[in-house]
Structure 1
Amino acid sequence: MAVPAGAALALLLCVLSCYAPALSSAAAGDFLRCLSASVPSQLLLTPASPSFTSVLASSIRNPRFFTPGTMRPLCIVAAANASHVQAAVLCGRRHGVRLRVRSGGHDYEGLSYRSVRPEEFAVVDLAGLRFVRVDRAAATAWVDSGATVGELYYAAARADPQLAFPAGVCPTIGVGGHFSGGGIGMMMRKHGLSVDNVLDATLVDASGRILDRKAMGEDLFWAIRGGGGGSFGIVLSWKVRLVRVPLRVTAFTIQKTVAQGAIDAVTKWQTLAPALPDELTIRVVIQNQQARFQSLYLGTCDQLLPVMSSRFPELGMTRADCREMTWLQSVLYINSGSTGQPGEALLNRTTSLSTFTKNKSDYVKQAITRESWQKIFPWFNGPSAGLIILEPHGGQVSRIADGDTPYPHRSGVLYNIQHIAFWSGDGGTAATTWINGFYSFMGQFVTKNPRAAYVNYRDLDIGQNAVVGGVTSYDSGRVWGERYFGAANFKRLAITKGKMDPGDYFRNEQSVPPLVQTPKQVSHTSSRHENCCL
């Protein structure tokens, strides 16, 4: 039996009031009516919609943010084209509803689909915008923000098995979020970060305009390539430079226990890994008091063996450890350890809500001593202990200047550390106690003043924005922002935000605040910029 339109709207507003008590029923209705004029009903999902919960959960990677107490959106706009994104921005500004934008849902604090503070918001879900168009001759691709890096990898290799792209290990990461924060991966030592290979982009700004690189200007184009998501607009698509890889690459995984020399190997790895040939990346996963060395070499086993025997004999690598394969197969191997999966497995976007996680990050510029590693390894013992992943820098990623993109962790950085605690059921207290204790303990060994962090491993513990007079406070933003971006880059990001979105429409708990300069400040900044370029 059909439900009368008036009754349906009344039911909808009743449901909405449970999710956003601060928004009046009239404002909620006006916002939804505005959206419905431009977005088809099947793409505009409210809590009353049968598919609302399944769509909301479809890209949630951490069930920590899918509990009954989590602030839910007024609606989900499952955008199928640019006009739906524009409508969300224009209707949201008109009726006082902010937007959270989700591509792959990997935001470690869930800010792409939830709000920490009570506020009215809608989610723009970009999963429907996932087209990848490869230009084989030019070795470039246009990739929509809703695509995953796995889909980008697959499309590039399908066009030419010697085309690839430098990005993350996990294939379900959304392109939009990954590029917005920089893009660490197994080929960054050879080809730089993901953002070092972005050539153009299209973006919907706070006025609802669609801008390409020329229209947005170089400051905004600089900001979106590593300045964090949710601050400057909604990037619809990215033009990237693809890189060439050999027809066969070599991967290996070697695990060492403490008794087998794990501590000595990790100690040496710290200064060796950033200085190895750019074609060779070796990262380390430390868990259960063991060190797992995972490697990608852009060449053959015959070429790799002499390098390993002369430079890293402590690992004891032999020909039996080599796994020669295509680059596409290496992505699957490094992510899962499996060599038998077809390339189509990279297209799987399936999510799981079985494992809760909490993440933190660090950077190391001075190698940690062997004696200190002897104190670190015992932390990885017991049912509540998590793991850390050490990602080497050096090579191309460190040759690019700290200010060339918002990602500043380049010259002098040996490696990045990702801290991960995980649990299921009600084991969160012990796991979070472990990661907080371990993170505090590691403070003596990592960068200081500030203690640097990676924005793609978002951590709200290092600071959250305060809103003053309707906009985010610059001083509150500096607390976390200078740790992600460095002081100079963060100020430039804030100035760019002040030019493009002075009203601070695009904001979340760790979005860049607007810093609006006076004419005198602008003149001084311009003169300084001109002088540095003479």
Structure 2
Amino acid sequence: MAKPSLAYLFTAFVFLSVSTSSAQPPNPPLSDTFLSCLTQHANSSTPHSNIVFDNTNPNFTTVLPNYIARLNTPLTPKPLLIVTVLQESHVQATVICAKSTNVQLRIRSGGHDYEGLSYVSQNPFILLDMFNLHRITVDVKNEVAMGQASATLGEVYYRIWDSSKVHGFPASVCPIVAVGGHISGGGYGNMLRKYGLSVDNVIDAQIVDVKGNLLNRQTMGDDLFWAIRGGRVASFGVVVLFTIKIVPVPETVTFFRVDKTLEENATDLWQQVAPTTDDRLFMRLLLAPSGKTVRASVMALFLGEANEVLPILEKEFPLLGLKKVNCTEAHWIDSVAWFNDDQGSKNGAKPETLLNANPREGLEIIWKKMIELGEMGLVFNPYRGKMAQIPSDATPFPHRKGNLFKARYSVSWKDPSPAAAQNFLNQTRELHSCMTPYVSKNPRSAFLNYRDLDIGVNSFGKNSFQEVYGAKYFNDNLQRLVKVKTAVDPENFFRNEQSIPGFVVMTDRYR
């Protein structure tokens, strides 16, 4: 094709110059458009300019703290706007206005997504920050509590304990994790063998759907209520509040930590006992390299007194060598604070701080790999008990009967350089690969709250989800989640790199 002539270029220039007087005015900044929309749709007397921040606002960088160090870099994509909602109507209006401006929405309650998907996107996005929605109410008489999305689990535990010394809630040992993300991804903790997961104890919820409607269990329907309890609400809407069933705990519980080395063989018996013992007993195994060996630490909670658990373990787990001097008897809330202490020290923090294949052969291979790598840690959490009694399709979380343990791979480092980050991530991947012969297969299962983009990402329009990571998180529950997604969010507005797609997205590649 011939290049345009000079005369053509000159003519075009003159035409544009003459037409400027009648040209359309430039589009207003996104912040102005969004504020106008928010004012129209939010039923609130709060000046909306007080809750919307763009990158010219001096408070922008303080409102946007990144919780994961490796994602806190100048190259980390930042939102176009941050909306720090104060009430439900702000959430509703934010969804409506983000959709009307055709800008992607990311929703942050606690910000503890391991891959940062709650506050990072490679596409232009608005961050809906739920930080101010952290109200908690407890009704001991009816054994229920309500927690807004950004209430931390530590705050929930404390408020329950403040109302009753004989109630608790089965959720994470990490008290700074928020209700919204933890519960909607499944949620587990030290009482899972007695009471199941957090989602097994959810009795109602409030969410905002893609149309900006505020729904509860009755108005959202059974399918959507099923989906948000383990399928991640962020694929379907914005969770505002969960209503949970609080559970009875003894006035006195027992917790302890016993350290062994691999030469002492305690882990051999632990893997036989931990998932089969009394369902009041939860024994978590932590493995960490220690010189030329591996230190194995058993941290445990027993829902009862020391005199009850000692004879159980003397019979079932004599190699542990548990003595009464190793045990601490206290309120359940003290066990929560103790487990949150990385060292499991006997003098745990005060409750107020919560406000702030061949098994033997496989373990030997894992130990050798951990010693070789030098920095990696493994945590094994035993299942069975109540977990084995709940059907795999009761909630989207499918890993129930037939599973003995869940393993978590972890590594931490202080060197801020990209090279160090890559080195330690590679170590994690190497240990994960080493475990392959000894874990679930076809597919190798994964826990949604341990988010990992290595196992696959959504390519929006290609079927990567179903083939790569969807089945790993949800097994046979995947198709029902896709069906729910198609019904409630057919245009796939609520999406991220590992969200649930609708049927249109799932089948696009076959057209």
- Would you say the 8 A contact 1:474–1:513 is kept in 2? no
**CA offsets, 1:321-363, max 9 Å, x none?**
1011110010010110242422110010xxxxxxxxxxxxxxx
| C-alpha distance in 2 between matches for 1:212 and 1:478 | 33
| C-alpha distance in 1 between matches for 2:465 and 2:135 | 38
Q: For residue 505 of structure 1, what is the amino acid of its counterpart?
A: F
Q: Does 1:385 align with 2:390?
A: no
**CA offsets, 1:146-191, max 9 Å, x none?**
1011111001110001110000000001100001111111001000
Question: What's the CA shift for 1:318?
Answer: 0.7
- Would you say the 8 A contact 2:465–2:498 is kept in 1? no
Q: Which residue of 1 aligns with 2:12?
A: none
Question: What's the CA shift for 1:217?
Answer: 0.3
- Would you say the 8 A contact 1:31–1:97 is kept in 2? no
Q: Which of 311, 332, 340 lines up with 1:327 in the alignment?
A: 332
Q: For residue 171 of structure 1, what is the amino acid of its counterpart?
A: P
| C-alpha distance in 1 between matches for 2:286 and 2:435 | 16
Question: What's the CA shift for 1:477?
Answer: 4.1
| C-alpha distance in 2 between matches for 1:187 and 1:512 | 29
Question: What's the CA shift for 1:40?
Answer: 2.2
Q: Which residue of 1 aligns with 2:208?
A: 204
Question: What's the CA shift for 1:268?
Answer: 2.1
| C-alpha distance in 1 between matches for 2:464 and 2:223 | 22
Q: Which of 417, 427, 450 lines up with 1:457 in the alignment?
A: 450
Q: Which residue of 2 aligns with 1:401?
A: 391
| C-alpha distance in 2 between matches for 1:500 and 1:56 | 30
| C-alpha distance in 1 between matches for 2:466 and 2:69 | 27
Q: Does 1:415 align with 2:405?
A: yes
Uncovered stretches (5+) of structure 2, i.e. residues with no partner: 1-26, 506-511
- Would you say the 8 A contact 2:171–2:198 is kept in 1? yes
Q: Which residue of 1 aligns with 2:112?
A: 106
**CA offsets, 1:56-94, max 9 Å, x none?**
11xx33111111111111111111100111111000110
Question: What's the CA shift for 1:258?
Answer: 2.3
Deviates more, 1:30-39 or 1:327-336: 30-39
Q: Which of 76, 80, 93 lines up with 1:74 in the alignment?
A: 80
- Would you say the 8 A contact 2:199–2:230 is kept in 1? yes
| C-alpha distance in 2 between matches for 1:397 and 1:176 | 22
Q: How does 1:247-286 map to 2 (within 5 A)?
A: 247-259=251-263, 261=264, 264-286=265-287
Count of aligned pairs: 464
Q: Does 1:441 align with 2:447?
A: no
Q: TM-score, normalised by structure 2?
A: 0.88
Q: Which residue of 2 aligns with 1:485?
A: 474
Q: Which residue of 2 aligns with 1:85?
A: 91
Q: Which residue of 2 aligns with 1:299?
A: 304
Matched residue SS, 1:317: coil
Q: Which of 160, 163, 171 lines up with 2:164 in the alignment?
A: 160
Q: Which residue of 2 aligns with 1:467?
A: 460
| C-alpha distance in 2 between matches for 1:88 and 1:181 | 23
Q: For residue 512 of structure 1, what is the amino acid of its counterpart?
A: I
Question: What's the CA shift for 1:474?
Answer: 4.6
Q: Does 1:308 align with 2:318?
A: no
Q: Does 1:138 align with 2:142?
A: yes
- Would you say the 8 A contact 2:252–2:304 is kept in 1? yes
Q: Which of 483, 498, 502 lines up with 1:510 in the alignment?
A: 498
| C-alpha distance in 2 between matches for 1:172 and 1:92 | 29
Q: Which residue of 1 aligns with 2:69?
A: 63
**CA offsets, 1:385-410, max 9 Å, x none?**
22011010001112100001000000
Question: What's the CA shift for 1:25?
Answer: 6.5
Q: Does 1:122 align with 2:126?
A: yes
- Would you say the 8 A contact 1:477–1:513 is kept in 2? no
Q: For residue 333 of structure 2, what is the amino acid of its counterpart?
A: L
| C-alpha distance in 1 between matches for 2:380 and 2:348 | 26
Question: What's the CA shift for 1:380?
Answer: 2.4
Question: What's the CA shift for 1:378?
Answer: 2.3
- Would you say the 8 A contact 1:254–1:294 is kept in 2? yes
**CA offsets, 1:455-482, max 9 Å, x none?**
00000000000122xxxx4553442110
| C-alpha distance in 2 between matches for 1:272 and 1:371 | 18
Distance change in 2, residues 1:52/1:26 (3 Å):
closer
Q: Which residue of 2 aligns with 1:42?
A: 50
**CA offsets, 1:183-222, max 9 Å, x none?**
1110010001000000000110000000000100000000
Matched residue SS, 2:170: coil
| C-alpha distance in 1 between matches for 2:321 and 2:287 | 18
Q: Which residue of 2 aligns with 1:355?
A: none
- Would you say the 8 A contact 2:134–2:147 is kept in 1? yes
Matched residue SS, 1:377: helix
- Would you say the 8 A contact 1:43–1:77 is kept in 2? yes
Matched residue SS, 1:423: coil
Question: What's the CA shift for 1:97?
Answer: 1.1
Matched residue SS, 2:207: strand
Q: For residue 457 of structure 1, what is the amino acid of its counterpart?
A: Y
| C-alpha distance in 1 between matches for 2:277 and 2:359 | 20
| C-alpha distance in 1 between matches for 2:467 and 2:228 | 18
Question: What's the CA shift for 1:382?
Answer: 6.3
Q: Does 1:317 align with 2:322?
A: yes
Q: For residue 60 of structure 2, what is the amino acid of its counterpart?
A: F
| C-alpha distance in 2 between matches for 1:80 and 1:370 | 54
| C-alpha distance in 1 between matches for 2:185 and 2:29 | 37
Runs of at least 4 residues of structure 1 off by over 3 A?
A: 24-29, 35-39, 473-478
Q: For residue 270 of structure 1, what is the amino acid of its counterpart?
A: Q
Question: What's the CA shift for 1:34?
Answer: 2.3
- Would you say the 8 A contact 1:231–1:506 is kept in 2? yes
Q: For residue 185 of structure 2, what is the amino acid of its counterpart?
A: G
**CA offsets, 1:259-302, max 9 Å, x none?**
3x1xx222222231111111000011101111110000000000
Q: What is the aligned-residue RMSD (CA, Å)?
A: 1.7
Q: How does 1:167-186 map to 2 (within 5 A)?
A: 167-186=171-190
- Would you say the 8 A contact 2:161–2:167 is kept in 1? yes
Distance change in 2, residues 1:280/1:176 (3 Å):
same
| C-alpha distance in 1 between matches for 2:76 and 2:348 | 39
Q: For residue 478 of structure 2, what is the amino acid of its counterpart?
A: F
Deviates more, 1:40-49 or 1:450-459: 40-49
Greater Rg by CA? 2
Q: For residue 449 of structure 2, what is the amino acid of its counterpart?
A: N
- Would you say the 8 A contact 1:474–1:515 is kept in 2? no
- Would you say the 8 A contact 2:31–2:54 is kept in 1? no
Q: For residue 77 of structure 1, what is the amino acid of its counterpart?
A: V
